Structure 1
Amino acid sequence: MLSRLNTYYKEMFPLIPRLFVGVIMFFEIYFLLLLNYGVKVEQLAIGMGEIVGSLTIFIFLMILRIADDFKDYETDQRLFPHRALPSGRVYKQDLIKVAVVVIVIAVVSNIIWMNNLPFFAFLFIYGTLMSLWFFQKSKIQPNLLLALVTHNPVQLVMNAYIISFTCYKYDLPLVSWTSFLVLLTLYFPALIWEISRKIRAPKDETEYVTYSRIFGYKKATRFVLILTAVDVVTNILLTYRLNRFAVLLILGNLLWFTLQCRKFSADPTQFKIVDKVERYTYILETMMILVVIGYLLLGRL
């Protein structure tokens, strides 16, 4: 079983990179919220709650990956038979056992160390409903837009889990303009990536339903660019008081991405737009992290 799981994690969910993603997600929201609320560096107190929160995000992302493989098993057998589960190189029982173990770890650790159990419960309830297609599989699975509307908000739920812990710990207002902006800060990149990965050149379209197949690749790309601009606005509002120079870098990143979208619209065969989205996101999130680190260490970069 361990050999099969090793194959699965190598191909579908690399553990170390995904753990790093969980930590980055947690602490980016954590510090952006605190710094925008004006919490002083000397007031920060990182302990087991932050460790458990990061681990919970990592575990939840893992469960989502496993749930997706179960949900799409029949489709993957037809369209992606080379993947670990449909190819038979890992068994369903293997993934069920792993899921049970990590969920127990998450539940026990949250009960012991976390202060936001209702948000934790809602996170995993939402994840469970997603894995069951909200009991409307026949309606949601064939409808790409309905699947997006029902599934993509899970990123908001994860963000709310982190924000609630932070606000409760430091006695900050949970419902405020600042909390709302931070709630959005990692939502738009997830939304943009989810849409862009289903935009293809006409020659690459198959029976797999994509946004470019429904709306055309130009309209779909234009929509991604609009969402990216909104994402930039939320990031600027959060970073302006921390580091004004970062605003110029964020705008420069948007300009670069705009040019890539125009190139793709002119000739969609030269690259995949999702690759440019990932590069844009890596650059943006790196800048956001550097702004936080610089502010914590120096007061400003």
Structure 2
Amino acid sequence: MIKRLHIYFKEMYPLISRFFLAIIYFFEIYFLLLLNKNIYDFSIGIQEWIGVLTVFIFLMVLRIADDFKDYEHDKRLFSHRPLPSGQVYKKDLAITLVFVVGLSFILNLVFMNNFAWYLFLFIYGTLMSLWFFQKDKIQNSLPLALITHNPVMMVLNIYILSFVCFKYDLPLVSWTTFLLAFTMYFQSLIWEISRKIRAPKDETEYVTYSQLFGYEKVTRFVRNLTLIDIMTNILLLWNLSKIGVVFIVLNVIWMMVQFQQFIKDPNHFKLVDRVERYTYITEITMVASVIVHLIQMRLNL
């Protein structure tokens, strides 16, 4: 079983890189909220690392749940993947789910201050795995699947925000929490749509947004979402790092050029590759700006 799970996680959910991603995801929201509220007297302990572990486990659960949901579909279109190819068994993944969800449940119940939001997060994730009891309608409609499934990332953001707000006695509903809930959500939304935009010659029986609505129209939609997303980033960074704002603006200008080039010639590159590069640069800029600001403030204290 261990060997089979190693094969699965290596391909579908690389543990080390995903845990590192969970650290960045959690602490980016954590510090952006605190710094925008001018809170510099903070302490990082076991609760924060349980929060990181919860993010890591929840994203793992989503990955495994998707493989269960799409098993028959993947047997036809992605038969090389570990589960449909038989390299890992459903039982292996089911045992893993029980263990990691049980672990996160106990840790959140005992140590965390936002257990209700933890329950809401995992209940939403469970309903997603069950297609909200409307499998025939949702599975056969890509837009409906997006509308019902993608908001889970905002719920994950609110899980983190609620912990920080309760710990530091901050209001859960504020302009800053609103921006943070949406800025991280938009990035996942942009990526999710972009990975299902293809050039006409690359379309297969796999249903994509470009197949349903035309690659030009969907690309323009993602471009507009990117402009909205970048405004939330600028507002969050404005009082922390003007240099960071400059880098973000330059990055989004570059991305606008990529969108336009793809609309003119969709055969030149895969849009999702450029979107991922843009996202990485944006996130690196946000994280670097937070770190630099923290160092500056510590030196001034």
TM-score (ref. length: structure 1): 0.98
How many Å separate the matches in 1 of 2:11 and 2:198? 23
Instruction: State the Cα RMSD in Å.
Output: 1.1
Residues 249-285 of structure 1 deviation map (CA, whole Å, 9 limit, x = unaligned): 1110001001111111111111110000000000000
Partner in structure 1 of residue 146 of structure 2: 148
Partner in structure 2 of residue 158 of structure 1: 156
Q: 2:212 aligns with which of 211, 214, 227?
A: 214
Partner in structure 2 of residue 20 of structure 1: 20
How far is 1:286 from its partner? Answer: 0.3
Q: 1:298 aligns with which of 272, 290, 296?
A: 296
1:54 equivalent to 2:52? Answer yes
How many Å separate the matches in 2 of 1:300 and 1:210? 49
SS in structure 2 of the partner of residue 85 of structure 1: helix
Runs of 4+ aligned structure 1 residues displaced above 3 Å come to none
Residues 42-77 of structure 1 deviation map (CA, whole Å, 9 limit, x = unaligned): x11101110000000000000000000000000000
Distance 1:195 1:10, change over 3 A: same
How far is 1:151 from its partner? Answer: 0.1
How many Å separate the matches in 2 of 1:56 and 1:217? 36
Partner in structure 2 of residue 4 of structure 1: 4
Partner in structure 1 of residue 43 of structure 2: 45
Partner in structure 1 of residue 29 of structure 2: 29
Q: Where do 5+ consecutive residues of structure 2 fail to align?
A: none
Residues 128-149 of structure 1 deviation map (CA, whole Å, 9 limit, x = unaligned): 0000000000000010000000
How far is 1:216 from its partner? Answer: 0.6
How far is 1:300 from its partner? Answer: 10
Q: 2:97 aligns with which of 92, 96, 99?
A: 99
How far is 1:178 from its partner? Answer: 1.0
How many Å separate the matches in 2 of 1:240 and 1:61? 30
Partner in structure 1 of residue 136 of structure 2: 138
How far is 1:207 from its partner? Answer: 1.2
Say which is worse superposed, 283-292 or 264-273, in terms of deviation: 264-273
SS in structure 2 of the partner of residue 166 of structure 1: helix
Number of aligned residue pairs: 299
What is the percent sequence identity of the aligned residues? Answer: 61
Amino acid at match of 1:104: G
How many Å separate the matches in 1 of 2:54 and 2:183? 19
Q: Retained in 2: the 8 A contact 1:218–1:265?
A: yes
SS in structure 1 of the partner of residue 84 of structure 2: coil
Q: Retained in 2: the 8 A contact 1:294–1:300?
A: no
Amino acid at match of 2:185: Y
The within-5 A match list for 1:55-74 is 55-74=53-72
How far is 1:246 from its partner? Answer: 1.4
Partner in structure 1 of residue 258 of structure 2: 260
How many Å separate the matches in 1 of 2:297 and 2:222? 34
Partner in structure 1 of residue 120 of structure 2: 122
Partner in structure 2 of residue 270 of structure 1: 268
Partner in structure 1 of residue 277 of structure 2: 279
Q: Where do 5+ consecutive residues of structure 1 fail to align?
A: none
SS in structure 2 of the partner of residue 229 of structure 1: helix
Q: Retained in 2: the 8 A contact 1:291–1:300?
A: no
